[in-house]
Structure 1
Amino acid sequence: MTSQPLILSGRGVTAVLGPTNTGKTHFAIERMVAHGSGMIGLPLRLLAREVYTRVVERVGAAQVALITGEERIVPKGARFSVCTVEAMPRETNVGFVAIDEVQIAGDLERGHIFTDRLLHLRGREETLLLGSATMKPILLQLLPGITIVERPRLSQLFYSGQKKITRLPQRTVIVAFSADEVYAIAELIRRQRGGAAVVLGALSPRTRNAQVGLYQSGDVEYLVATDAIGMGLNLDVDHVAFAQDRKFDGYQFRNLNAGELGQIAGRAGRHLRDGTFGVTARVEPFDAELVERLETHHFDPVKVLQWRTVQFDFSSVDALKRSLEAPPRVPGLTRALPAVDQQALEHLSRYPELRDLATTPERVERLWETCALPDYRRIAPAQHADLISTLFSDLVRYGTVNEDFLAEQVRRADRTEGEIDTLSARIAQIRTWTYVSNRAGWLADPTHWQEKTREIEDRLSDALHERLTKRFVDRRTSVLMKRLRENAMLEAEISVNGDVFVEGHHVGQLAGFRFTSIATSEGPDAKAVLAAAQKALVLEFEARAARLHASGNNDLAISSDGLVRWLGDPVARLTGSDHMLHPRVLLLADEQLSGNARDHVVARIERFVNHHISTVLKPLDDLSRAEDLQGLAKGLAFQLVENLGVLFRRDVSEDVKSLDQDARASMRRYGVRFGAYHIFMPALLKPAPAELITLLWALNNDGLDKPGYGDLISVLAAGRTSVVTDPSYERTFYKLAGFRFLGKRAVRVDILERLADLIRPLLQWKQGQAERPEGAYDGRRFMTTTAMLSILGATPDDMEEILKGLGYRADSVPPAEVEAHLGIKPADKDAPAVATEPSADGEDKPVAGDEAAPAESPTVAAEAAASDAEPAAETTTGDEGEAPAAAASEAPEAVDAGPAATEAAVDDAAEVPAEPKPVLLWRPGGRNDNQRAEQGERRGKGRRPEGAGRGNGNPGKSQGDERRGGGKRANDERSERGGQKGPRPDRPGKPQQRFEAKPPRKEKPLDPDSPFAKLAALKEQLKR
């Protein structure tokens, strides 16, 4: 005799209540995967399979178990379990527990199981109860301390009155409550509208899935179903029509109450799209009070829950029967009517031979376990009891069910011939043996029989789906309903590639849903030809609309010009809207596409656009919906979403410093990376998300017409890590695409973070350490390395501008001093190159900031990156080798052209002696330098010529040596004077200007056969 546990407290339990289409199940899935382990109970095996698939997509198949009465998929070490409520254990040790559709606890047939689970099953860390708002009073009464969260419906529901079945709109679900009525309505729809799918509770889950897929794919526009659709099935339904409002609940025929009607009517509308409901056939229109309750979702609260004891007395069969009659001891609970298992026990207790077997508590408990066999066949209680008696006798006498008996029963069901009712009966029979094969200890070889029964059930389900489709879907009628009569005088036809012919003459071209006429004749004949073509187009438009509506997402695409293309032809144009991630769709179609066909095309394209954006920009969408972020993390996530996935760290430095490690970890779970220079989402830097983000911004900012947009899109599609900048491009596009504008090159932000990873150890190196990293100098300054040039795909001159754009400052040091510091002897000619070279053409180059923004402080960036301690994101190098080559063609004297060029340079040097070029040592810019640069940028904004410095702590090179000397050295001198401002002591009253002396540029003779000589000759011809 098991002990009866007390009702657990409601503390730590959260009830999420509301009508349909409030996202309760989605919320539960998100909460479950956020825990280390969890379990969720669903009311239907079909719904459990759907949720199982969604959880597997999130965490992987090895982490998720599916447990139902007929199916067990339990990977070793699975952390999450998706179950039917009947299959949930009464006790568990997982961190999270959720029970869906808890209002079923008031159901006469299954309610006592839901009641037991919601009263006694808890997660260690979190427990969620999901269901209708009608459960609020009873839950507050039974579970003191429970937290109630009410969620509003995402869309509205409207009553549309009464309509004939043949006049119901497309995408309608017609509800009836008997198989005969469902079949009769489906037959009528087939004759009048081309076909319908059917969903009944008696169908196997596989058959129901196939029928729902027939409707969802658009092969049929109508679904005839019982109230099985009210239990959380996700359908694309616009209208729900009640063909019956009475049902048999297992004990009597009765009218559906308002709550049950609301559960079914709520299937209309999806997410933010409104839905309608009404009545049809012989059902009287709903009265105004009922309509108001359904539209506002106000229903009578559940007053009592069905309950049955779990304190079973297994000392004898009679004692077990008496224990089942025990009344509840808690107000708000009522003893449930005898369920199938209790009815079977009542019949079996009358069998003397069975009483002779059930003589010990263990055998009585086994008898009760056997009585739990579901009655899938819906046969008489006595017949069901006979089957249970046979199974129990085998289990007691032999320890397992007789496999010869089982094999014979399975063999009888393994036939796919017959009509709908015959196949349905065989499926019910094989489901019984599927259940038996999944009971622990009932069979000697359970694995074999589980696979065997599953195979037979699938085969029978497919055959039943085929019969249903053949009977209730007339594809020929469906096509004929979309056609109109052709002109009796002129024959018009349209070829596969869209060419329109009338009587064999080519009169135009059809692309998508737009017709372009090329007829040159005039007069009545031309009008007749075009009229015939227009009639043919109407038919073709109808057919194309049907094909587009039923097409998959692979047939549709969004091009870089904002057009939605179907099989290559433009069918719609995207335009800006109030929400950047939800653009408007403008259909590109002639007036011949009208009515339902036009609506279906628009609806299908909108579904595709929304699906495409949510899929490609899923990381951004997930971050915007993150409910586990709090405080500063939530605010930072909001800014990141508003800036489409990239933030400059300097802009949010204070917020980032204030984030604790837990908050950072919570954001990293959403794919956010904290870099030295940026806060960004690496997943959005790939070509597809970058291109889509750029397009969405352009739609809202008239960017499609701005110069350089189309060319930039093609560059992004190549997946490069850095690109040569073009002044004709809109700079905003670079940032949206995940690039940072730095002088002559725009570098992808994750590559800049890899650059920071290379620089950081060079600035952390200390004198006296055993090994000096390549590029390290004295722990305060560093030299550029080939690795830096490689990941950026940049030339040394480009590298100089990039580092200045990031806020680093350069010190020019004679090569001899560098060699002495590094311990390199002057005679060591084979020593590797240790420094980058300044521009060989002798001209200062503009220091380009990032969109006229102030420069970073590399010191702060290095400290921030070190504190984050996050590995560098993996990047695609793309065509890195092309960029240096392109730069080489523009400034050949500044690029190492290989060994041959090196030898030529040595020969030239022998003829024309040249002074050694200084080495650039880079150091982080001070905070004061950056502040002064920002002030200078603000003062000169709007007046600074193109190419001038942009507030990164270094004046633009195009201003000449004077600005380099006056800007850089003045700052150094102020630092030497302790930060004091004002003129130098030796020249009071006047700021000192110093100029850097540079060796004059030597003209080198060029080999007339070299590519550089040819390039120079070409430039000279262009000047003439």
Structure 2
Amino acid sequence: MCAHSSGAIGFPLRLLAREVYDRVVAIKGESQVALITGEERIEPASARYFCCTAEAMPRDGGGHAFVALDEAQLSADRERGHVFTDRLLHARGREETMLLGAATLEPVVRSLIPRAEIIERPRFSTLTHAGARKLSRLPPRSAIVAFSVEQVYAVAEMLRRFRGGAAVVMGALSPETRNKQVSMFQSGEVDYIVATDAIGMGLNLDVTHVAFASLTKFDGVRQRRLAPAEMAQIAGRAGRHQKDGTFGTLAAGKGPVPEFTDEEVYAIEEHRFAPLTKLFWREAEPRFDSLRTLIADLEASPAQPELVPAPEAIDLAVLKRLADEPIADSVKGAGLVRRFWEACSLPDFRQLGPDVHARFVARLWQDLAQGHLGADYVAARIAELDRVQGDIDTLQGRIAAIRSWAYICQRPDWVLARDEMAARARAVEARLSDALHARLTERFVNRRTTILMKSLGTDPALLPVTLAEDGALLVEDEPIGHVEGFRFKVDHTASHGDRKMLLAAGEKALPRILSDRAEALIASQMEGASLDRGAIRWQGQELARLEPGPDAVHPRIVPARELHALPEAVRERLVQALAAWLAAALAPLEPLAKLEEAARNPEAGSQARALLLGLIGGHGFVAREKAGIEHLPKDMRPFLRRLGVTFGALDVFAPALLKPAPRALLHALGYDRRPLQEAMQPVIDGGKALPAGYRPAGRQAVRVDMAEKILRAAHQTRGEVKTRRFVLDQALAVSTGLTPENWHRLLGAAGFRRLPARKLAESAFGPPAPDLWEWRPSRRPPAKRPPDRKPPANGAFAALADLVR
């Protein structure tokens, strides 16, 4: 066409017309090329080349130098055949006319157009029958063909589960959605495409195998087996140009497996089919004198024997229904009859049947009979459909409806503000198509599984796995799981069938990913690490458990199981870094380590070691009555004081271990399971379970070193007076937060007895007399040692008794 001064091509699909339009624009420029379809019209004033659907192309060729009709064998189609027959008979170019179609059309063309020159283009590649195959055995780059929406969805769902998904192509999809689904297959994002017989025309795909899920279809009248030519039209998608292809059937489900007959296989492989003997015809230029005359002309029989009357198409069915209703009474005159026929010719994009479509046309005619459709009315109808919410079927219904309005808006004499309304309709269709593509992809494509199916068989080192900043493990930007610390968790949204595959993919990449993470953690000097419940944790996950070692500041580090995924050298460096970090973190426990070292020293004596073991067991403090201090020689007290031990009135303790840092560490290490008072306040509210380092004082609790300070001040006051009774100042206790009542309880526990002062008489004035105190320490005698009993001379303990003596 581009070699001529002008031209027009009629295509069977709007999709094909658009594809060729873009190619011609690239050669000739936008101002020279027009696109005319039922729903879209781009017609520059200077256009010389026209890409049209068969229905929209000029019937006589439009006076162009070149005219072509694609897929001319559709002249035998029940629904649209009469249109293609008319263009085959009458569309002519001034210089050249080309009819492109299957070889089955040759006998009829020779009969109707004796002067036609027949040029054959044989298939370069070989098409071979491969028999029936299960879904799991289908090779990549396969197309599965089904003949019902339910079957398409079922096959696509199985492919999503076991092969990562498939593109979906159906005749009910909008061209834009179909293009996007095909692009997804062509780009390799998915390796399978599930389609109806719409795949057999106008789609040039990179397919190596075509599998038929069924060999029967409903053609609008009855359920029938596909003709061999139809089978070949679909199977021919496999292998293009010089690339060979295969075809077969799909062995799936509980029913019988569809099988090709030997004759069908031979016909498809050798490309030998029964020729077409008849083409459907309908009068293309009927008379518009009246509706009855119009119907009679449309039902007339052709004169040529090669032509047969076309079955009643939906436009004629709608015309006949409405002609019998009151709405047609006012349709008089050639102008109105022609306009009424144009309204009835509105395609049934929604495919709801003649009755429902006739009601829609009748409502449309009520406005057209008055002149034009108002822009406000059309805009409102378009706006009603401009909603992208809903499932696949809902969006398909809206797209079909908006296509009807796009067709209406293209008519030059139907809608006011035609260009604006047409642009709105196309924009809404584009948005709905995007939404439908997204729904189809979301339902039938598991991109993550598709990527893994392609990658898992290769070298694990080449698996394109990356770790995002938030810890997500990605394969080509698709999440397969999450790395928390050094633990890999499979994506919780994955199905049960996918979890094994995702786990395998993650484990193959983990040594490399975790090594990088470990090196970064070592370089940061363990930033973010913490001690918790006897373990070292990072990012909420356990890196290592701490088990008892030589002393408190040297526990043994046991790496978590997840660290075994690291290479040995990296793991050893990480453990060394953990040890260095832990040594610095446990520095506040150095006083406790000194106590443990002294307890292991034999020269300390058994009594001092016993007291030290009590202090160590209490993690820095022990009640005086439990410390065994009465057995401690006085000359050992300086030794213990040099270790930081304080002998208090009620407790023996190490003040350095009562600070917040060591208390928090002892709690984090799991050594001290009592409640933790993080700030180690001097006085807190009491309770049944007191935090470590506190002793009860009535309804409150006081830190043991602060209790000792208060009691020491009381003893100092007692020593300064010469009388048995004395007055104590409660200022120190009150300043720490201890209430007077609880101060009394604390003093009482240390042997002080309160003598309440007499109250002032009612007539007396002045400050009340202070309370008096006296010190009455416990006079309980020490527990008597039971007398030694000599064991029997022949008893089991006789020898041991000698050793003890």
Which residue of structure 1 lines up, in the alignment, with residue 629 of structure 2?
none
Instruction: Provide the C-alpha distance between the structure 1 equivalents of 2:269 and 2:123, rounded to a whole number of angstroms.
Output: 11
Q: Which aligned pairs between 1:579-658 and structure 2 lie closer than 5 A? A: none
Offset at residue 496 of structure 1 (A): 7.8
Q: Determine whether 1:310 maps to 2:284.
A: yes
Q: 1:106 to 1:485 in 2, by over 3 A?
A: closer
Instruction: Provide the C-alpha distance between the structure 2 equivalents of 1:538 and 1:258, rounded to a whole number of angstroms.
Output: 50
Please, which of 149, 162, 165 is the counterpart of residue 132 of structure 2? 162
Counterpart contact for 1:314–1:364, Cα < 8 Å: yes
Instruction: Provide the C-alpha distance between the structure 2 equivalents of 1:225 and 1:336, rounded to a whole number of angstroms.
Output: 28
Please, which of 147, 156, 161 is the counterpart of residue 191 of structure 1? 161
Which residue of structure 1 lines up, in the alignment, with residue 53 of structure 2?
84
Offset at residue 48 of structure 1 (A): 1.1
Q: 1:380 to 1:152 in 2, by over 3 A?
A: closer
Q: Which aligned pairs between 1:278-293 and structure 2 lie closer than 5 A? A: 278-280=248-250, 281=252, 282-293=256-267
Q: Which amino acid aligns with 1:355?
A: A
Offset at residue 355 of structure 1 (A): 2.3
RMSD: 2.2
Instruction: Provide the C-alpha distance between the structure 1 equivalents of 2:399 and 2:465, rounded to a whole number of angstroms.
Output: 46
Counterpart contact for 2:36–2:42, Cα < 8 Å: yes
Q: Which amino acid aligns with 1:136?
A: E
Instruction: Provide the C-alpha distance between the structure 2 equivalents of 1:219 and 1:347, rounded to a whole number of angstroms.
Output: 48
Q: Determine whether 1:328 maps to 2:305.
A: no
Which residue of structure 2 lines up, in the alignment, with residue 121 of structure 1?
91
Which residue of structure 1 lines up, in the alignment, with residue 675 of structure 2?
none
Offset at residue 356 of structure 1 (A): 2.4
Instruction: Provide the C-alpha distance between the structure 2 equivalents of 1:57 and 1:484, rounded to a whole number of angstroms.
Output: 42
Instruction: Provide the C-alpha distance between the structure 1 equivalents of 2:227 and 2:158, rounded to a whole number of angstroms.
Output: 28
Which residue of structure 2 lines up, in the alignment, with residue 260 of structure 1?
230
Please, which of 367, 377, 394 is the counterpart of residue 350 of structure 2? 377
Q: Which has the larger radius of gyration?
A: 2
Please, which of 381, 389, 396 is the counterpart of residue 409 of structure 1? 381
Which residue of structure 2 lines up, in the alignment, with residue 12 of structure 1?
none
Instruction: Provide the C-alpha distance between the structure 1 equivalents of 2:387 and 2:216, rounded to a whole number of angstroms.
Output: 35
Counterpart contact for 1:245–1:283, Cα < 8 Å: no
Instruction: Provide the C-alpha distance between the structure 1 equivalents of 2:227 and 2:448, rounded to a whole number of angstroms.
Output: 40
Please, which of 418, 428, 434 is the counterpart of residue 446 of structure 1? 418
Please, which of 265, 275, 300 is the counterpart of residue 301 of structure 1? 275
Q: Determine whether 1:132 maps to 2:102.
A: yes
Q: Determine whether 1:437 maps to 2:406.
A: no
Which residue of structure 2 lines up, in the alignment, with residue 347 of structure 1?
321
Which residue of structure 2 lines up, in the alignment, with residue 938 of structure 1?
none
Query: Could you list the per-position Cα deviations for residues 506-559 of structure 1 after superposition, in whole angstroms to 9, with x for gaps in the alignment?
Result: xxxxxxxxxxxxxxxxxxxxxxxxxxxxx999978xxxxxxxxxxxxxxxxxxx
TM norm structure 1: 0.44
Instruction: Provide the C-alpha distance between the structure 2 equivalents of 1:494 and 1:422, rounded to a whole number of angstroms.
Output: 43
Please, which of 364, 387, 392 is the counterpart of residue 391 of structure 1? 364
Stretch deviating more after TM superposition (188-197 or 50-59) = 50-59
Query: Could you list the per-position Cα deviations for residues 335-378 of structure 1 after superposition, in whole angstroms to 9, with x for gaps in the alignment?
Result: 001111101101101211x2222011110111011111000011
Which residue of structure 2 lines up, in the alignment, with residue 820 of structure 1?
none
Instruction: Provide the C-alpha distance between the structure 1 equivalents of 2:45 and 2:413, rounded to a whole number of angstroms.
Output: 19
The count of corresponding residues between Structure 1 and Structure 2 is 467
Q: 1:393 to 1:486 in 2, by over 3 A?
A: closer
Instruction: Provide the C-alpha distance between the structure 1 equivalents of 2:376 and 2:121, rounded to a whole number of angstroms.
Output: 54
Q: Which amino acid aligns with 2:356?
A: Q
Q: 1:472 to 1:495 in 2, by over 3 A?
A: closer
Offset at residue 484 of structure 1 (A): 5.1
Percent of aligned positions that are identical? 53
Query: Secondary structure of 2:369's partner?
Result: helix
Query: Secondary structure of 1:82's partner?
Result: strand
Q: Which structure 1 residue ranges, 4+ long, deviate > 6 Å from structure 2? A: 494-498, 535-540
Query: Secondary structure of 1:81's partner?
Result: strand
Instruction: Provide the C-alpha distance between the structure 2 equivalents of 1:427 and 1:454, rounded to a whole number of angstroms.
Output: 10
Q: Which amino acid aligns with 2:354?
A: P
Counterpart contact for 2:210–2:248, Cα < 8 Å: yes
Query: Secondary structure of 2:123's partner?
Result: coil
Q: Which amino acid aligns with 1:203?
A: L
Counterpart contact for 1:138–1:302, Cα < 8 Å: yes
Counterpart contact for 2:392–2:436, Cα < 8 Å: yes
Q: Which amino acid aligns with 2:294?
A: L
Q: Which amino acid aligns with 1:224?
A: V
Query: Secondary structure of 2:16's partner?
Result: helix
Please, which of 450, 463, 468 is the counterpart of residue 435 of structure 2? 463
Instruction: Provide the C-alpha distance between the structure 2 equivalents of 1:186 and 1:455, rounded to a whole number of angstroms.
Output: 29
Instruction: Provide the C-alpha distance between the structure 2 equivalents of 1:260 and 1:469, rounded to a whole number of angstroms.
Output: 29
Q: 1:497 to 1:384 in 2, by over 3 A?
A: closer
Query: Secondary structure of 1:150's partner?
Result: coil
Query: Secondary structure of 2:118's partner?
Result: strand
Which residue of structure 2 lines up, in the alignment, with residue 222 of structure 1?
192
Counterpart contact for 1:315–1:364, Cα < 8 Å: yes
- Specify every segment of 5 or more residues in structure 1 that has no aligned partner in the other structure, as ranges: 1-31, 499-534, 541-1024
Q: Which aligned pairs between 1:10-21 and structure 2 lie closer than 5 A? A: none
Instruction: Provide the C-alpha distance between the structure 2 equivalents of 1:497 and 1:485, rounded to a whole number of angstroms.
Output: 14
Counterpart contact for 1:486–1:536, Cα < 8 Å: no
Q: Which amino acid aligns with 1:405?
A: Y
Q: Determine whether 1:152 maps to 2:126.
A: no
Counterpart contact for 2:375–2:421, Cα < 8 Å: no
Query: Secondary structure of 2:383's partner?
Result: helix
Query: Could you list the per-position Cα deviations for residues 103-133 of structure 1 after superposition, in whole angstroms to 9, with x for gaps in the alignment?
Result: 1000111100000000001000000000000
Offset at residue 495 of structure 1 (A): 9.5
Q: 1:268 to 1:485 in 2, by over 3 A?
A: closer
Q: Which amino acid aligns with 1:422?
A: T
Please, which of 161, 168, 175 is the counterpart of residue 145 of structure 2? 175
Q: Which aligned pairs between 1:464-863 and structure 2 lie closer than 5 A? A: 464-482=436-454
Q: Which amino acid aligns with 2:284?
A: V
Query: Secondary structure of 1:237's partner?
Result: coil
Instruction: Provide the C-alpha distance between the structure 1 equivalents of 2:507 and 2:21, rounded to a whole number of angstroms.
Output: 44
Please, which of 46, 54, 73 is the counterpart of residue 23 of structure 2? 54
Offset at residue 44 of structure 1 (A): 0.6
Q: Which amino acid aligns with 2:211?
A: A
Offset at residue 466 of structure 1 (A): 0.2
Offset at residue 64 of structure 1 (A): 1.1
Counterpart contact for 1:494–1:536, Cα < 8 Å: no
Query: Could you list the per-position Cα deviations for residues 923-958 of structure 1 after superposition, in whole angstroms to 9, with x for gaps in the alignment?
Result: xxxxxxxxxxxxxxxxxxxxxxxxxxxxxxxxxxxx
Q: 1:121 to 1:479 in 2, by over 3 A?
A: closer
Which residue of structure 1 lines up, in the alignment, with residue 206 of structure 2?
236
Counterpart contact for 2:10–2:54, Cα < 8 Å: yes
Query: Could you list the per-position Cα deviations for residues 769-792 of structure 1 after superposition, in whole angstroms to 9, with x for gaps in the alignment?
Result: xxxxxxxxxxxxxxxxxxxxxxxx
Counterpart contact for 1:157–1:275, Cα < 8 Å: yes
Query: Could you list the per-position Cα deviations for residues 836-865 of structure 1 after superposition, in whole angstroms to 9, with x for gaps in the alignment?
Result: xxxxxxxxxxxxxxxxxxxxxxxxxxxxxx
Counterpart contact for 2:349–2:404, Cα < 8 Å: yes
Counterpart contact for 2:213–2:258, Cα < 8 Å: no
Instruction: Provide the C-alpha distance between the structure 2 equivalents of 1:180 and 1:497, rounded to a whole number of angstroms.
Output: 37
Query: Secondary structure of 2:47's partner?
Result: coil
Q: Which aligned pairs between 1:930-949 and structure 2 lie closer than 5 A? A: none
Instruction: Provide the C-alpha distance between the structure 1 equivalents of 2:104 and 2:384, rounded to a whole number of angstroms.
Output: 46
Counterpart contact for 1:313–1:323, Cα < 8 Å: yes
Instruction: Provide the C-alpha distance between the structure 2 equivalents of 1:153 and 1:539, rounded to a whole number of angstroms.
Output: 45
Which residue of structure 2 lines up, in the alignment, with residue 357 of structure 1?
330
Which residue of structure 1 lines up, in the alignment, with residue 620 of structure 2?
none
Instruction: Provide the C-alpha distance between the structure 1 equivalents of 2:164 and 2:423, rounded to a whole number of angstroms.
Output: 38
Counterpart contact for 1:182–1:225, Cα < 8 Å: yes
Counterpart contact for 2:452–2:505, Cα < 8 Å: no
Q: Which amino acid aligns with 1:453?
A: A
Query: Secondary structure of 2:59's partner?
Result: coil
Offset at residue 423 of structure 1 (A): 0.3
Q: Which amino acid aligns with 1:319?
A: T
TM norm structure 2: 0.56
Counterpart contact for 1:182–1:226, Cα < 8 Å: yes
Offset at residue 486 of structure 1 (A): 12
